[in-house]
A and B are shown apart, each in its own frame.
Chain A
Amino acid sequence: MAIKIGDIFPDTVLTYVPYDAKNPEACGLPQQLKTHEAFRGKKVVLFAVPGAFTPTCSEEHMPGYVRLAGDMKSKGADIVACVASNDQFVMHAWGKSYSVKDDILMLSDANGELGSALGLVNDGSARRMGPIRLARFALIIDDLKVIYVGIEPAPGVSVSGAPAVLAKL
């Protein structure tokens, strides 16, 4: 049921707080991102994490993308984005903690719409992380068509990590 290569990426609404180069310390106004509108005609690297500020996501997954986002863009990615079920304020703050600026778009899927549409949402209640958590995965989306799917089979970061994705661009 999970998304696969060849599928059209779903059209959902995510939220984010944009980076403001003039006012980097401010917490700007949240905005909506409609995935089809934003991703049409573009090559997008989208990686998903179960939780902002959690150990694996913060220490193993995100740093790879912070380091390689520029290389991904040199290899043709127009947008590098991170999505989680945390809300947009949390995602913005987490991005700031890595000084991502506008290198990585920090997106929120707080209602789990994208996760459900992709078949990649889990229930984190047993660990008190709430009923909606995205799985750990990475996708390469080319003009709305999914051309790479890396869903982590186990805890840790491998097929959804930045090096694996960079190799596929």
Chain B
Amino acid sequence: MTIKVGDEFPEVQLKYVPYDAAAPNACKGPQLLDTKKAFSGKKVVLIGVPGAFSPTCSVQHIPPYVAKADELKAKGVDLIVCVSGNDFFVMEAWGKQEKVTDKILMAGDANGDLGRATGLSIDLSKAGLGAVRLTRFVAIIDNGKVAHLAVEPDPTEVTVTGADKTLSAL
């Protein structure tokens, strides 16, 4: 039931608050992101994280992607998206903390649609994060098709989902 390389990436609606360089501290209107429409004809790196503001995600996982965003784009990536089970307001605030600016689109999957559609949802109730969260993964989606998928065996760590590993997979 879990998504694998070669599959068509599912069509789900995520939500995000766009970064506005002219008003970086504003919280402007949230927008929907339809994965089919947004990813069509593009090479996308999609990073799934268990929790915004959590230690591993904030310190080990996202910063290298911010630092290497240009290298990823030089290798043909059109869009880098980070998604979690948090809502889009939280993702926007976290993106500001991590200073992602417009390098990474920070999207929320609070309804759990993406987790369910990909089979990559995980129950983190025991850790206090709620029953429908995303595990830690990175997918390279090429014109809607999954070209690469790395799922962390232990979601509290960053190994196969790190930025360097993703760069080598491109």
Contact = CB atoms under 8 A, between A and B. Distances in A.
Interface stretch (B104-112, B142-150, B162-170): B104-112
A69 interface: no
A51 B89 contact: yes
Nearest to B15: A128
Contact of B131 (A86, A94, A111): A111
A93 B93 contact: yes
Nearest to B108: A128
Contacts, number: 89
Interface stretch (A3-11, A52-60, A145-153, A155-163): A52-60
B170 to A, nearest CB: 30
A83 B15 CA distance: 24
Contacts of B112: 130-131
A87 B90 CA distance: 10
A93 B130 contact: no
A2 interface: no
A117 B52 CA distance: 27
A15 B157 CA distance: 22
Chain B, interface size: which category?
A: 20 to 34
A111 B86 contact: no
A52 B14 CA distance: 19
Given A128-B87, A130-B87, A89 B54 contact: yes
Q: Which of B55, B108, B112 has the most chain A CB atoms inside 10 A of its CB? A: B55
B27 interface: yes
Given A89-B52, A130-B111, A130-B112, A111 B58 contact: no
Given A27-B58, A53-B89, A90-B52, 17 more contacts: A51-B87, A51-B90, A85-B130, A87-B54, A87-B128, A89-B55, A89-B129, A93-B53, A97-B93, A110-B125, A110-B129, A111-B125, A125-B110, A125-B111, A128-B87, A130-B85, A132-B130
25 contacts: A27-B58, A30-B128, A51-B90, A53-B89, A53-B90, A89-B53, A90-B86, A92-B53, A93-B53, A93-B93, A94-B93, A97-B93, A108-B128, A110-B125, A111-B131, A124-B87, A125-B110, A128-B13, A128-B30, A128-B108, A128-B110, A129-B111, A130-B85, A130-B111, A132-B130
Interface of B: 13-15, 27, 30, 32, 51-55, 58, 85-90, 92-94, 97, 108, 110-112, 125, 127-132
